[in-house]
Chain A
Amino acid sequence: MISLESLNRALQHWLQSTLGDPWAYLVMCVLVGLAAITLFAVLGLALVYMERKVAALMQIRMGPNRVGPKGIFQTSADTLKLVMKEGLTPDGADKFLFNFAPFLVMIAAMLVLAPIAFARNFQIWDLNIGVLYVAAVSSIAVIGILMAGWSSNNKYSLLGAMRSAAQIVSYELSAGLAILSIVVLAGSLRISDIIASQADGWWIIKGHVPALIAFVIFLIAVTAETNRAPFDLAEAESELTAGFHTEYSGMKFALFFLAEYINIFIGCAIGATLFFGGWMPFHIGHWEAFNRVMDYIPSSLWFLGKTLFLIFLIMWFRWTFPRLRVDQLLNLEWKYLLPISMINLLFITLMAILGWHL
């Protein structure tokens, strides 16, 4: 059966037999980089289109339906517009930081892609501290946002950046604790080990109520870390016009926009990996026939389906809830989510020690 894994193997084998070891490795690195960039572009286009269609579904309207069949080329046309637009640098801005910030945000998003398992044995880099790496690298994005806000020489941008920094730094804690609770259950930080530990059931089912609580906290934290409504205070268009990217235009704006969607994808992919077993098919105990049927569905589809479901949830939040106020946002994290996730982590540790999760 053709799968991403077998394609990957065949390509590696062919490269090694034709080029020899060091060159094959180099070519492979270049190919991976190209694949990552292509994935970014495709994901950006697809997710923006999905967002607009989901929004239309929520808002009793049609959504994009003019450019191409069912409007599928709408986002490509928008991108073309952004590429052709002049990227202004405002007078009085710190030119280096201003131009560097969108790239930093983008690079941070790209780096987090490395340990994500897209299908069975299909992963760029299966490093042994997988989830720790994700938690660490994803925080770099906040530096980019702060840089953008500070260097724009705009008061709205500055306020947006300050809000964003406070928000991302705070919500990182709950996200980290929610990730930790699954690490405790799986007994490993390595992404492939975490997925393998869910072969007989996903953690959201095996982990009972504490895992469910951890999942809810994780979802809230991801929504907050990606600056999405109801936590979009960094942008808050009714208060700060566009927050930290008020002064950005053209492709530099597009990079921020793209990074937001990539970050959603990555957050949801991590969520799907930790709580829904990544590419692991849905299995029920001893139902051999049922499990066999589930195995026939390609592992990449399982991964994509779970991730898209979580993305849909996050989009649903955005188009339903009003925005929180900045002090309420921090109250929610420090007074509710953080204590709850700490106590929850204790419960989960207890569960793991007593072996209740199996």
Chain B
Amino acid sequence: MLEEIGTNDQGDMIINIGPQHPSTHGVLHLVITLNGETVKKVEPHLGYIHRSIEKMCESLNYRQFIYVTSRMDYLSSHINNHACALCVEQGLQLEIPSRAQVIRVLLDELTRIASHQLWWGALAMDLGAFTPFFYAFREREMINEIMEETCGARLTMNYIVPGGLMMDVHPDFQRKVKAFLVQFRSKIHEYDELVTGNVIFQSRTKGVGILSKEDAISYGCTGPTGRGSGVSCDIRKLYPYEIYQQLQFDEVLEQGGDSFARYKVRIGEMIQSMNIIEQLIDNIPEGDFQAKTKAVLKLPKGDFYSRVETARGELGVYIISEGGTTPYRIKFRSPGFSNLSALDHMSRGGKIGDLMATMGTLDLVIPDIDR
């Protein structure tokens, strides 16, 4: 029967994980080579959700193309919109009203918390514990309600536009965000009790999927994946945009490089994001929510690059303009793609269970990898 089971020359078993698999969180297709339970090679196959967003953007004008980018990394759609808006504003040399800047940062950080909460629940699920998912969604639901009230959407926001915001925030915004902060501060210890301190969880993640600092740099890993390996790569600190240089927050760094280090970075980031929101929520300046712009935006000839820190790492937007109303070429540097490329290196020699733990802590969002 062995010849019917796909094996290679060395007699290793080759298994397809995905594109329909519970722990790839989407249509990621991994071809893994197994020797018994030990993973010898991981080969990601992409393209199952490729929508050629970059090509599509070339035929959409500078107001329209932002809506497509919400569909890239759908868990941080505000931040994607933000990156694109920053790039267009850089080309137009627009001054953004301070009210819009503060609200943009608030929404970015709320998005980051929501994304990390979902990751936290999904990671626990990858490791076989179902219950944390529901605890994560209890708080995440509050953020989703805030988003729904603010921009009418819960996933694809399309709220941050070139020049500022699409509309002003709801009058309840401040009150609801504060209620969320109170709730989350009082509940975050449950996250630690349920998962972080669990012996099984620690033994599943400590020393698993190790990525050294050098490797993290050479693979271009950013975001919590890079910072878990001790690479200081927080765009908010290194290349501050909007009002980040005026804010008090720490870049969470761990030196371990294993899955548990990446886990701790994300937990720490949720707390840092809460600190940022707390600094800003009472200090939203009055004023316009949008700068005065022309109805049809035209970027001058040249190329423009902006980068932001999404929940998964560095998102770069590179626009080449020929001076028209649409970009001549556009390229997104997505964090997930670089982080995924390190997966093979990290999971070789581990067990199948380790592969899931590693993949879970990379926090992959497939439409972000496959645009």
Contacts and interface: CB of A to CB of B under 8 A. Distances in A.
A is bound by B: yes
A320 B37 CA distance: 25
Contacts of A240: 352
Interface in A315-329: 319-328
A69 interface: no
B4 A238 contact: no
B42 to A, nearest CB: 14
A60 B138 contact: yes
A55 interface: yes
A151 to B, nearest CB: 9
Contacts of B37: 159, 163, 326-327
A321 B133 CA distance: 13
Interface in B335-353: 351-353
A238 B5 contact: no
Interface string B118-151: 0000001111111101110010000000000000
B200 A230 contact: yes
B215 to A, nearest CB: 23
Given A239-B356, A322-B201, A55 B130 contact: yes
A61 B131 CA distance: 10
B351 A323 contact: no
B134 A322 contact: no
A239 B356 CA distance: 7
A332 to B, nearest CB: 10
A319 B133 CA distance: 11
A238 B13 contact: no
A237 B22 CA distance: 7
A325 B351 contact: yes
B131 to A, nearest CB: 5
B140 to A, nearest CB: 13
A238 B200 contact: no
Nearest to B205: A322
Contacts of A285: none
Interface string B67-83: 00000000000000000
B157 to A, nearest CB: 27
A229 interface: yes
Contacts of A60: 134-135, 138
B48 to A, nearest CB: 17
A239 B198 CA distance: 20
Contacts of A229: 128-129
B198 A321 contact: yes
B22 A158 contact: no
Q: How large is the interface on A (under 10, 10 to 19, 20 to 34, 35 or more residues)?
A: 20 to 34
A38 interface: no
A155 B352 CA distance: 13
Contact of B129 (A92, A322, A327): A322
A60 B1 CA distance: 47
A12 interface: no
Contacts of B135: 59-60
Contact of A230 (B15, B124, B128, B133): B128
Given A155-B15, A158-B5, A239-B23, A322 B351 contact: no
A323 B353 contact: yes
Given A60-B138, A236-B128, A320-B131, A92 B4 contact: yes
A59 B128 contact: no
Interface string B10-32: 00010100000111000000000
Given A155-B15, A319-B130, A324 B200 contact: yes
A322 B127 contact: yes
A240, A322, A324, A326, most chain B CB atoms within 10 A:
A322
A325 B204 contact: yes
A236 B126 CA distance: 9
A225 interface: no
A322 B124 contact: yes
Interface residues of B, number: 36
Contacts of B6: 155
Interface string A222-245: 000000011010001111110000
B203 interface: yes
B22 A238 contact: yes
A141 to B, nearest CB: 22
A58 interface: yes
A261 interface: no
B363 interface: no
B22 A241 contact: yes
A170 interface: no
A238 B358 CA distance: 13
B354 interface: yes
A59 B200 contact: no
B127 A238 contact: yes
Contacts of B353: 236, 239, 323, 325-326
A229 B131 CA distance: 12
A319 B354 contact: no
Interface in A40-95: 55, 58-61, 92
Contacts of B21: 241
Contacts of B356: 238-239
A153 B6 CA distance: 11
Contacts of A241: 21-22
Nearest to B200: A322
B198 A322 contact: yes
A325 B356 CA distance: 11
Contacts of A324: 200, 203-204
A318 to B, nearest CB: 8
A156 B32 CA distance: 12
Given A239-B353, A325-B353, A156 B204 contact: no
B44 to A, nearest CB: 17
A321 B130 CA distance: 8
Nearest to A325: B353
A59 B131 contact: yes
A326 to B, nearest CB: 6
Nearest to A155: B15
Contacts of A156: 15
A236 B21 CA distance: 12
A153 to B, nearest CB: 6
A-B residue pairs, 5 tightest by C-beta: A323-B128, A322-B127, A325-B353, A238-B23, A59-B134
14 contacts: A55-B131, A156-B15, A229-B129, A239-B352, A319-B130, A320-B129, A322-B128, A322-B129, A322-B200, A323-B128, A323-B129, A323-B353, A327-B351, A328-B203
Given A55-B130, A159-B37, A229-B129, 6 more contacts: A59-B131, A59-B134, A92-B4, A155-B13, A237-B22, A321-B129
